[in-house]
């Protein structure tokens, strides 16, 4: 049985609000409900993920594991799964961002067929998950740590695989911020599996029974905009909003589910149009089923082959 990670710690991330983005301070009720919302969406950072349950069937793929330190001091777990087989090709390396219930180490069903087809995968743990430190989710600290963690992992991958191009692949919540990473020159494209392109629909679903002013206040308290890291002022919270700057000429494959209970079809269409309007090529393949749907290994390999042939 896999034991829960023992090396997790809590990293304080100091933030301050930008003076040009005044917003009403949430009241005590909004803050209390916001904490519940945060914990429901990011169960790993809430300390509520049962790792012994995840590992009960030996669902780990053998790999190498590292811990990096981000620019804001948070720790981020990194997992490296080297390509195997006769067709190893390091022209591209996949950087994988997991969803909110299954961290990197427990995605063997997705990773193994790709690794055995010569594809190298680097997985990062989201804030508070597995090898990454917990962060108190106050004043935008969770999002700032997430941005800093992603930056640390991307830089590490680019340095280690200096001759490779990078494909960002995310599942569910792991697709938040996906568009923003496409601006890097060696990131040639992305794959989004049951993509959550905005927190809006998830927040609305959890607080829809409340009066609109209160639900808006809760969302603002949980995922505020306009907070800046005091140690790295260039990192600013946006409420996990998508940033389409720099996506021109990149290639993105989306695999949404046609009966997704969390992500409405309209949200996927908005995301696609936003990318295409900025010059990104987007291919959408609808999966049958709900939010747990997955593309086949053949679908993922076909997308990766197209990305390998793509030139920005």
Model pLDDT for residues 91-113, shown as the tens digit of each residue: 999 999 999 989 999 999 999 99
Domain count, the chain: 1
CATH of the domain at 213: 3.40.50.1820
Higher model confidence: residue 181 or residue 58? Answer: 181
Q: Domain span at residue 146?
A: 24-309
| pLDDT of 248 strictly over 80 | yes
Q: What is the pLDDT of residue 155?
A: 97
Q: What is the pLDDT of residue 2?
A: 36
| pLDDT of 160 strictly over 70 | yes
Sort strands 92-97 and 165-171 into parallel, antiparallel or unpaired: parallel
| pLDDT of 77 strictly over 90 | yes
Which residues 6+ apart lie within 8 Å of 114 measured at CB?
94, 121, 297, 300, 301, 304
Query: Mean pLDDT across the stretch 227-250?
Result: 91
**Backbone phi, then psi, for 301, in 5-degree steps?**
-65, -40
Q: What is the pLDDT of residue 5?
A: 47
> Is residue 19 domain-resident?
no
Q: Among residues of the chain, what percentage have pLDDT more than 70?
A: 87
> Is residue 5 domain-resident?
no
Kindly report the pTM of this predicted structure: 0.90
Which residues 6+ apart lie within 8 Å of 181 measured at CB?
150, 154, 168, 187, 190
Q: What is the pLDDT of residue 312?
A: 79
Average pLDDT of the chain is 87
């Amino acid at each position: 049985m896999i034991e829960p990670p023992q090396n997790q710690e809590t990293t304080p991330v100091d933030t301050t609000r930008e003076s040009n983005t005044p917003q009403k301070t949430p009241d005590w009720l909004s803050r209390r409900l916001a904490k519940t919302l945060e914990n429901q969406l990011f169960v790993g950072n809430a300390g509520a993920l049962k790792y012994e349950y995840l590992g009960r069937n030996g669902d780990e793929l053998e790999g190498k594991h590292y811990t990096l330190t981000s620019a804001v001091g948070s720790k981020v777990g990194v997992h490296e799964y080297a390509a195997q087989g006769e067709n190893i090709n390091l022209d591209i390396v996949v950087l994988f961002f997991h969803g909110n219930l299954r961290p990197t180490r427990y995605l063997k069903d997705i990773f193994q067929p790709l690794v055995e087809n010569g594809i190298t995968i680097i997985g990062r743990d989201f804030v508070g998950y597995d090898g990454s430190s917990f962060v108190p989710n106050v004043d935008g600290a969770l999002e700032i740590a997430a941005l800093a963690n992603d930056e640390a992992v991307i830089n590490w991958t680019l340095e280690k695989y200096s001759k490779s191009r990078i494909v960002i692949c995310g599942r569910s919540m792991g697709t938040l911020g996906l568009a923003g990473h496409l601006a890097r020159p060696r990131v040639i494209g992305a794959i989004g599996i049951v993509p959550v392109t905005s927190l809006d629909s998830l927040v609305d679903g959890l607080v829809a029974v409340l009066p609109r002013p209160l639900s808006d206040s809760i969302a603002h308290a949980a995922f505020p905009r306009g907070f800046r890291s005091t140690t790295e002022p260039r990192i600013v919270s946006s409420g996990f909003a998508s940033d389409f700057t720099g996506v021109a000429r990149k290639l993105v494959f989306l695999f949404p589910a046609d009966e997704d209970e969390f992500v409405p079809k309209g949200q996927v269409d908005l995301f696609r149009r936003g990318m295409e309007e900025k010059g990104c090529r987007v291919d959408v393949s609808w999966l049958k089923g709900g939010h747990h749907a997955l593309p086949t290994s053949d679908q993922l390999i076909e997308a990766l082959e197209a990305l390998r042939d793509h030139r920005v």
